[in-house]
Amino acid sequence: MDKPFRRRDLLGIRDLSAAEIIGILDTAENFREISTREVKKVPALRGKTVINLFFESSTRTRTSFELAAKRLSADAVNISVSSSSLSKGETLLDTALNLDAMAPDCIVVRHSSAGVPHQLAKVSKAAIINAGDGANEHPTQALLDAMTIREHKGKIDGLEVAIIGDILHSRVARSNIHLLTKMGATVRVAGPGTLVPRDFSHLVENGLDVCSHVEDAIEGADVVMILRIQRERQDSAYFPTLREYAIHYGLTNDRLDLAKKDAIVLHPGPMNRGIEIASDVADSSRSLILDQVKYGVAVRMAVLYLATGGSMSGK
Amino acid sequence: MADEFHLVEKSRIMDGTRMKRALSRLANEIVEHNQGAKDLYIVGIRRRGVPLAERLSDKIEQLEGVRPLYGILDITLYRDDLSTVGANPIVNRTELDTDIEGKTIVLVDDVLYTGRTIRAAMDQLMDFGRPKKVQLAVLIDRGREHRELPIQADFIGKVVPTKQTEIIKVMLKEFDDVEAVGIFERPAEEPAKQG
Could you give the CA distance from residue B119 to residue B114 in angstroms, rounded to a whole number? 10
Q: pLDDT over 90 for what percent of chain A?
A: 74
List the single range of A194-203, A232-241, A301-310, B86-95 with lowest mean pLDDT.
B86-95
| B150 Cα to chain A: minimum distance (Å) | 21
User: Please, which pLDDT band fits residue B2 given cuts at 50, 70 and 90?
Assistant: very low
Inform me whether the C-beta atom of residue A36 falls under 8 Å from chain B C-beta atoms.
no
Residues contacting residue B87 through CB under 8 Å, at least 6 positions apart: A309, A310, A311
**Contact residues for B142 (Cβ-Cβ < 8 A; gap 6+):** B111, B112, B113, B160, B161, B162, B168, B194
What value of ipTM does the predicted structure carry? 0.73
Q: Do A309 and B87 touch (CB under 8 A)?
A: yes
- What does the pLDDT read at residue B193? 59
Task: Say if residue A164's pLDDT is above 50.
Answer: yes
User: Which of B46, B85, B88, B91 best probes binding to A when mutated, by most A CB atoms within 10 angstroms?
Assistant: B91
Measured between beta carbons, the chain A residues lying within 8 angstroms of B88 are 44, 305-306, 308-311
Query: What three-state secondary structure class fits B111?
Result: strand
| Closest by Cβ to B87, choosing from A44, A46, A311 | A311
Pairwise CA distance, residues A27 & A300, whole Å: 10
pLDDT value at position B115?
Answer: 96
Are the C-beta atoms of residues A266 and A223 closer than 8 Å to each other? yes
Q: Which residues of chain B does A310 touch, with a Cβ-Cβ cutoff of 8 Å?
A: 87-91
Nearest chain B CA: its distance from A99 CA (Å): 21
User: Residue A200 has what pLDDT?
Assistant: 79
Percent of chain B with pLDDT over 70: 89
Give A19-57 pLDDT, tens digit per residue: 999 999 999 999 999 998 888 999 999 999 999 999 988
Does residue A72 belong to the interface with chain B, where contact is any CB pair within 8 Å? yes
Q: What is the mean pLDDT of chain A?
A: 90
- The CATH superfamily assigned to A18-134+296-308 is Aspartate/ornithine carbamoyltransferase (3.40.50.1370)
B-chain residue closest to A314, CA distance? B90
Parts of chain A belonging to CATH 3.40.50.1370: 18-134+296-308, 139-292
Whether the CB of B93 is below 8 Å from some CB of chain A: the reply is: yes
Each residue's pLDDT tens digit, A216-265: 999 999 999 999 998 777 777 788 888 999 999 999 999 999 999 999 99
Question: CB–CB of A313 and B95 under 8 A?
Answer: no
Express each pLDDT in A52-82 by its tens digit: 999 988 889 999 999 999 999 999 999 987 6
Q: Encode pLDDT of A116-135 as tens digits.
A: 999 999 999 999 999 999 99
CA distance B47 to chain A (A): 13
What is the pLDDT at residue B86? 47
pTM: 0.86
Query: Using H for helix, E for strand and C for coil, what is the string for A102-122?
Result: CCCCEEEEEECCCCHHHHHHH
Contact between B185 and B10 under an 8 Å Cβ cutoff? The reply is: yes
Nearest residue in A to B120, CA atom: A43
Mention the CATH class of domain A139-292. alpha beta
**Spatial distance between the Cα atoms of A144 and B85, rounded to a whole number of angstroms:** 28
At A287 the pLDDT is 97
* Neighbouring-strand partners of residue A160: A186
Contacts of B127 in chain A (CB under 8 A): 37, 39, 41-42
User: Count of residues for chain A?
Assistant: 315
- Among the residue ranges A58-62, A77-81, A101-105, A162-166, the one predicted with the least confidence is A77-81
By Cβ distance, the residue of B85, B93, B123 closest to A33 is B93
Q: Which class for B107: exposed (0-12), middle (13-18), buried (19 or more C-beta within 10 A)?
A: buried
Indicate the Cα dihedral angle A210, A215, A217, A223, nearest 10°: 150
**Partners of A183 in the β-ladder:** none
CB atoms within 10 A of CB A283: 12
The CA-based angle A274-A236-A178, given to 5 degrees, is 70
Q: What sign has the CA pseudo-torsion A138, A67, A108, A74?
A: negative
Q: How far is A108 from chain B, CA to nearest CA, in Å?
A: 20
Q: A34-38 contacts: CB < 8 A, separation 24 or more?
A: A34/A71, A34/A298, A34/A301, A34/B77, A35/A71, A35/A294, A35/A297, A35/A298, A37/B127, A37/B128, A38/B128, A38/B129
Mind telling me how many Å the CA of B137 is from chain A's nearest CA? 25
B124 touches chain A (CB under 8 A): yes
Say if residues B118 and B109 touch (Cβ distance below 8 Å).
yes
